[in-house]
Structure formats: structure tokens, C-alpha cells
Amino acid sequence: MVWKCFIFRQKLLGRFGIDLNPFYIITMYWKKLSHEQIKETVFKALGENLDYRGERPILGIPGTYLDTTEFYPDAPFLQDAPYMSAMVRNPNHIGVHTLSEESVLEVFEGTQKIERDLIRLVAEEVFNGEPNGQDGYVATGGTEANIQAMWVYRNYFIKEKGARLGEIALVYSEDSHYSMPKGANILNLQNIILEVNPETREILQSSLESKIKEAMQDGIKYFIVIANLSTTMFGSVDDIDALGDFFTDQNVDFRIHVDAAYGGFIYPFTNPTSRFTFQNPYMSSITADGHKMLQTPYGTGLFLIRKGYIEYVKTDEAQYIPGKDYTISGSRSGANAISMWMILKIHGSEGWKYKMESLCDKTERICKKLDRMGVEYFRNPYNNIIAIKAKYMSAELADKFYLVANSYEFEPEWYKIVVMPHVKQGTIDSFLIELEGEQKSRKSNQKG
């Protein structure tokens, strides 16, 4: 483990005697690999898998390589393309590979080692977990990973606490991703939706207190709590410690899952004092998508959870799978796990930190221009999302630059800009020039 977590506890001496909450300063490092080193590692792993085209008599696996009519294996470029080679060979990563050093299916043990190393890297380096202290897998995306967490904690409360379904609730803010109500619907969980401050996007303490009190009066005893590490629309970040402290004070059973589908691969790199780490006892699990900030193919949503929990969703009926299955998805593309590992390794921790800081710098320049125009917006300083109040721009301008509205069913209140790597400065400048023109025109009309 190459992260170091320093806990500083400051005490205000004198007549106040206030003991401040600890905060973490996280320094990180993992080595950048060259393309040749990555290629060598991936091809070595593919070589450790059993080859469907090889001499081994593989008769019982209900899968094979990609259809050669279109995906021919002798394409010359594949020799220099480890990810595409993995796609063509089509390894199946069914199951969870962090439960032991053994492969779930010997046929794919080589590439499953890469997924295991990916889980270790992200859990222990990015989110500061203890060595071998976390389980996880590459899910299809944040929706699956979030529902996986709900499934785990629902079963935990039922099996360990004797909870009934009607006694378990899912708690999340109104800014949370739609996978929350979707998961609650699938798992028959009660929904508790917390209101947020319309300006700061923070969860309203009054809403938290009143809704949890009402839920407890209605017989809710167990709470699965979602803390957002960058909401989809605003990039807002919930206060995980405030949530944890509140439920602790209520003396109820709860577990906190962090939805970092968007923020998981930017926020830890731009905020060295992030509280979203496995060193924080309130964080039991986390979702982090590769197919957003990490720029990996769709279908790369990482799910990480503390050791000891994933067993609550073991499917004993999967008798034909060595090691059983613990995931919603079941069969999974091994190539997707490889793509995440490749991106993290080609940049190294310092390279990725620089890339994320550069995006935040570009985002900050936009915000300063908006400030000079007097345009109101919301932005978390560690994320690259800017939500602009809709009253400051025409729908035509928003449509021209493909800004996303907070609602397409009702009158939008916000439009968001997401400063991704494809966003060029010239595009930003063009948008800001037109936005400024609309502001001047609006002010002129008001004077007239």
C-alpha cells in the first residue's frame, strides 16, 4: 500500500477546549507504466487463460471467442492492441475474484488476476483502504453497482438483525441518481427522499430530522443511506460525516454507500482532504464508474465494499460455478476490467492527478467569466461540473451547445456544463461570448 493517510487532530486550547474532527491529508503514488509494459502484462495474462483455439479440450464452457466472420483473430493490428485482443478472445469474469487468490473459472485465471489488481489499486490507493480489506468487481455501471450495495445491506439487515422488508428504508437526497428509486423498487425498499438547499445543494438538516423521525414512527428500523460524491446534475457532494453522525445519534442500524459514479475518479485527485475513504468508518462501500472520467468503454462501473459484506448476496444456487456468484450481472466482460487497469497504469497516479487538476483549472476559468457576467451557478470546487441557472440563457443557446437540463418534462431550472477532455477552449469561448451577448441584450431590454 503506497498511500499514506495522516490524521491530524487539532485542539483549540484555552477556555474553549474544542476538539476538532480529524481530517485526512492523502498523498498517493502508483507507478506509470509504458505502453510496452502494459502490452506485455495483458498478453501474458491472456496467455495464462486457456485459449479456445488451443490444444486443451474445452468442452463444457458455454462461451467462446468472438465470431470470426467479423472479428477475425489474425488482424495485424491486434499484435499491438491488448484491449482489442482481449475483446476478441472474450474472457468471462463471472463472480468476485477478491474473495481468494483462486480464480472463479480456471479458464480465465490470467485476466482475472488483472481485475483483482485493479480492485486492489482503486480500493487501497484511490480510496485508502487497508491491504486486502475490500472486495469488489467491475459492474456494468453505476446503476448496477448502487443496486448491488442496496442488495447487500438489505440482506445483511434481514440475516443479521432479523429485519422485515417493511422495516428497511433507502435514504437519499432529491439530487441523487435515478438508480436509487429504481433499486428501491426492485428490492422492495421504502424510499426516504431528503430535500436539499436550492442554492448550496446541501441536504437540509430539517428535512433529514423530520423525515427520519417520521419513518421511525412508521416502524422503519434499518437505514441504507446514500452519500453522493458528485451528483449527476450538479456535481454536489454530500457531507458523509454529518450523515453518519446523525444516524449514530439516533441509535439506529445503518450503513452508508457512496455513489461516486461520477466523482470517484476526479474528486480524490483534486481534494487531498477528501473524507470519502475507507479510513472513514462511515463509508462501507462505494461506486466509481470508469466510463465517465476514466474514459473507459461503457460497461465499466466499479463496486467496492469492505470485507465481510459481499457474502450476504452469495447465490448458493450457482452450483456449476466454482466459488459461486455474488453479483447482479453474473457473466461479465474481462476486457472491460482490463481497460480500466490499462488507463490507470498508463497515466500513473501523478499523471492522472495532473489531468484531473487541468480539467478543474479549465472549469474554474469558466466560473470566473460567469462571475464577471453576474450569472448565477453552482459548482463544487473539486469537480468539473457547472450548473447554470436556466433564467440566464435561452433554450436555443443551451440546445446549440448541447447543455443538459435538469428536467425535460417540466420547465428547466438549470443547465449544466461538463468540462470533459473533449471540450476545447474554443468551444468554451464561443459559448461564453454568446452567453454574454444574451446578458447584454437582456439588460438593454430591461432598460428600454
DSSP 203-237: BPHHHHHHHHHHHHHTT--EEEEEEEBS-TTT--B
Band (pLDDT 50/70/90 cuts) for residue 5 is: very low
| Contact present, 115 and 94 (Cβ < 8 Å) | no
Predicted local confidence at residue 62, as pLDDT: 87
Q: For residues 361-381, give the mean pLDDT.
A: 99
Predicted local confidence at residue 24, as pLDDT: 60
Band (pLDDT 50/70/90 cuts) for residue 323 is: low
State the virtual CA torsion across 144, 242, 274, 309 in degrees, nearest 10: -40
- For residue range 389-404, what is the model confidence (pLDDT) as tens digits? 999 999 999 999 999 9
pLDDT higher than threshold 80 for residue 447: no
Q: For residues 267-274, give the mean pLDDT.
A: 98
- For residue range 255-264, what is the model confidence (pLDDT) as tens digits? 999 999 999 9
Question: How far is it between the farthest Cα atoms of the chain?
Answer: 84
Q: For residues 167-185, give the mean pLDDT.
A: 99
Predicted local confidence at residue 11, as pLDDT: 30
Predicted local confidence at residue 245, as pLDDT: 99
pTM of the model: 0.93
pLDDT higher than threshold 90 for residue 332: yes
Q: Would you call 326 helix, strand, or coil by DSSP?
A: coil
Cell output for 13: 486550547
Cα separation, 439 vs 266, whole angstroms? 32
Cα separation, 102 vs 322, whole angstroms? 10
Q: For residues 245-271, give the mean pLDDT.
A: 99
> Average pLDDT of the chain?
93
CB neighbourhood size of 165 (10 A): 12
pLDDT higher than threshold 70 for residue 10: no
Q: For residues 8-17, give the mean pLDDT.
A: 31
- For residue range 55-70, what is the model confidence (pLDDT) as tens digits? 888 888 888 999 999 9
- For residue range 111-138, what is the model confidence (pLDDT) as tens digits? 999 999 999 999 999 999 999 999 999 9
Sign of torsion, CA 370 375 376 377? negative
Predicted local confidence at residue 263, as pLDDT: 99
Q: Sketch out the chain's domains with CATH numbers.
A: 128-331 (3.40.640.10), 349-447 (3.90.1150.10)
pLDDT higher than threshold 60 for residue 337: yes
Residue labelled with grid coordinates 497515466: 347
Sign of torsion, CA 316 319 325 328? negative
Task: List the alpha helices (DSSP H) in 374-424.
Answer: 395-400
Instruction: Give the strand pairing for 301-306 and 168-173.
Output: unpaired
125 DSSP assignment? I
Cα separation, 307 vs 283, whole angstroms? 12
Cα separation, 349 vs 126, whole angstroms? 9
- For residue range 198-237, what is the model confidence (pLDDT) as tens digits? 999 999 999 999 999 999 999 999 999 999 999 999 999 9
